Structure 1
Amino acid sequence: MRKFSFFTLLFLLGAGIALSLMVGTLPISFDELISVFQGNASRTHQLIVVDFRIPRMLVALFAGFGLAISGYLFQTIMHNELADPGILGINAGAGLTVLYYLGFFAVSRAAWVLPLIACIGSLLAASLVYFCGHQKGRLAPNRLLLSGIAVNAGISALTLIGTVRASKDSYQFVASWLSGTIWGTTWQHLAILIPWLLFLIPWILIKGKELEVIFLGDEVATSLGIKMKRAQLFFLSAAVCLAAVSVSVAGSISFIGLIAPHIAQIFQRKKNNRNLLMSGMIGGLLLLYSDILGRVILPDGEMAAGIIVSIIGAPYFVYQLLKKE
């Protein structure tokens, strides 16, 4: 079963990469794609594939990977299968700061500025949720989830208020960003995302045994010598940073962090590092294929990848909610 699931994911990854590079406003055949990598293609095809589609494909893969790992951490720490970065206000916080920056303070749209602004918004929203999620000096998982929903609603209201004062261009950009359009399509945006993954993922894997023990329950983890406050703070901080940097580059994508760990659980039932990495890989594939579908589903233009993910994720969230009752 493990070998089958691994080769299935590997096949889907290869097919997704090829489709992502071939599909778009200007379709490119497989032969033309091979010519690009051989250096024999026209300058137009070279520009489209190398400068636009490869960065976009990699951003979708890595952002989906980061969001899925973030969801996995939230679900494990909070002992709640419905936890997701989007539900906890991280996406809304990023959207709010991007809107107000573009509407009132924007002096630069350099590749690194907007992701930085979005990350600040995500971290501020997460800090508020973390503060509200404490009860009697301890982190209460259910209280944390409810705090996230409340903060999400409040920030969404502030975002709507902010759109009244925003310029037409700023409003259109933020509306596109909030719908989950993968806007980070350059090598500079990829350079913002990858260092975070390279720094955080190894640390999370090193502490993977702690995460396995926490999954068994807070009381069990404490009895086995895990310092819960420090462990919770580390994993929650890592989850927030992964989600923040992912949405700052890819746009406001919800439900990846909810769905991917559940799918991984089908193939790899034990909660360990292998399950965590499989969750990440499934998350990357979900966002990659959503982006591909968004490009072909409409005859003119394209649909945001976030909308495709939400079409899948919202019913699944309701199903999980009903199943828990």
Structure 2
Amino acid sequence: MDVFQQNASASKELIVFNFRFPRLLVSLLAGAGLAVSGYLFQTVTHNDLADPGILGINAGAGLTVLIYLGFFARGENSWYLPLIACVGSCGATCLVYYFGRQAERITPNRLLLAGVAVNAGISALTLIATIRVSKDNYQFVTAWLAGTIWGTTWQHVFLLLPWLICLIPAVLLRGRALEVLELGDEIAVGLGVRLKRTQLFVLICAVCLAAASVSIAGSISFVGLIAPHIARQFTGKKNNQTLVMTALIGGILLLFSDILARVILPSGEMAAGIIVSLIGAPYFILQLLKKS
């Protein structure tokens, strides 16, 4: 409170406004972006187990960002880093779609299996790239791959914020079409929804949200899986209210994980992505057993 009342020392103000506050905002924004991305993937694929991390979208973004940071970057992160992540995410999306389609149709189970396979393959390439990275960048790259938010600054906030400001309202404007899409492809077509165009728009938004979030916060999985499920417990169905609730829960989940990662060790801190995985992996297995 002393900081906001301007009664704190210069060192405390520096810590709060230059280190803690940007880190808090990045946690909220990245968590919201990953959560909304998972919500959109689950809506389009009609699969409640879909998640950008499980489908390989995060891995594709992580690979291209890793290659850039490890071999080409000089100095601070560039403003086009999210675009580099989008290239990797789009490539992973194309692979998942190619291997997941069956007779020109997308089946949820086949898409999930294709995503797991693509994720495994890209993860192997990422490991090889990590081995080949220089010693100076190795520690930073491994921490980034674990999903750490340590060291984020106001520059990272301004890198991520425009993507959410543009994409989430655009998705909300298509909220009615998303509600109809949830009823099934055949019903959506019968009710006048332009199916292919709507699916393409939603997929592009989901890929860009996941890529931008991963490029700033690192490779974090399961946020996009957990947040939509929790949101539907409050709203009961998928609509714009659920989407907003999903964004809030995703941001709070990643923020809570980051805070827990900072205090769980007596010295130093753990990556927030590890905490999210410890929460998300059992949840994913439980949902998978319920689906079976």
- CA deviation digits over 1:50-70, x for unaligned, max 9? 111111101101111111111
Shift of 1:36: 1.2
In the other structure, the counterpart of 2:238 is 271
Aligned counterparts of 2:289 and 2:2: Cα–Cα separation in 1: 51
Shift of 1:139: 3.6
Point out where structure 2 has 5 or more consecutive residues left out of the alignment: none
The question of whether the paired residues in 2 share the 8 Å contact of 1:183 and 1:251 is answered with: no
Aligned counterparts of 1:102 and 1:248: Cα–Cα separation in 2: 10
In the other structure, the counterpart of 2:116 is 149
In the other structure, the counterpart of 1:192 is 159
- Counterpart residue identity of residue 73, structure 2: A
Shift of 1:183: 4.3
- CA deviation digits over 1:201-260, x for unaligned, max 9? 111111101111111111111111111111111111111111111111111110000001
In the other structure, the counterpart of 2:31 is 64
Of the structure 1 ranges 121-130 and 40-49, higher mean CA displacement relative to structure 2 is found in 121-130
Alignment of 1:54-93 (within 5 A): 54-93=21-60
RMSD (Å) for aligned C-alpha atoms:
1.6
Aligned counterparts of 1:124 and 1:173: Cα–Cα separation in 2: 25
Aligned counterparts of 1:63 and 1:248: Cα–Cα separation in 2: 9
Aligned counterparts of 1:116 and 1:200: Cα–Cα separation in 2: 14
Distance 1:113 1:183, change over 3 A: farther
- 1:40 aligned onto 2:7: yes
The question of whether the paired residues in 1 share the 8 Å contact of 2:70 and 2:141 is answered with: no
Aligned counterparts of 1:67 and 1:273: Cα–Cα separation in 2: 16
- Counterpart residue identity of residue 165, structure 1: R
- Counterpart residue identity of residue 302, structure 1: E
The question of whether the paired residues in 2 share the 8 Å contact of 1:295 and 1:302 is answered with: yes
Count of residue pairs the alignment pairs up: 292
In the other structure, the counterpart of 1:12 is none
The question of whether the paired residues in 2 share the 8 Å contact of 1:97 and 1:121 is answered with: yes
The question of whether the paired residues in 2 share the 8 Å contact of 1:177 and 1:183 is answered with: no
In the other structure, the counterpart of 1:24 is none
Shift of 1:111: 4.7
- CA deviation digits over 1:162-206, x for unaligned, max 9? 223211232221211111101462111111111111111111111
- CA deviation digits over 1:87-118, x for unaligned, max 9? 11122112212232233323343353544433
Shift of 1:315: 0.3
- Counterpart residue identity of residue 277, structure 1: V
- CA deviation digits over 1:274-325, x for unaligned, max 9? 0111111111100001000011000000111111111110000000111111
Aligned counterparts of 2:69 and 2:261: Cα–Cα separation in 1: 26
Aligned counterparts of 2:150 and 2:269: Cα–Cα separation in 1: 12
In the other structure, the counterpart of 2:19 is 52
Aligned counterparts of 1:265 and 1:200: Cα–Cα separation in 2: 21
- Counterpart residue identity of residue 157, structure 2: L
- CA deviation digits over 1:97-150, x for unaligned, max 9? 223223332334335354443333223222332343333334443333222211
- CA deviation digits over 1:27-65, x for unaligned, max 9? xxxxxxx22112221111111101111111011011111
The SS at the match of 2:50 is coil
Which residue of 123, 138, 162 maps to 1:171?
138
The question of whether the paired residues in 1 share the 8 Å contact of 2:45 and 2:106 is answered with: no
Aligned counterparts of 1:111 and 1:50: Cα–Cα separation in 2: 22
- 1:251 aligned onto 2:215: no
In the other structure, the counterpart of 1:281 is 248
Aligned counterparts of 1:201 and 1:249: Cα–Cα separation in 2: 18
Using structure 1 for the length normalisation, give the TM-score: 0.85
The SS at the match of 1:37 is coil
The question of whether the paired residues in 2 share the 8 Å contact of 1:65 and 1:283 is answered with: yes
Distance 1:84 1:174, change over 3 A: same
In the other structure, the counterpart of 1:136 is 103
The SS at the match of 2:220 is coil
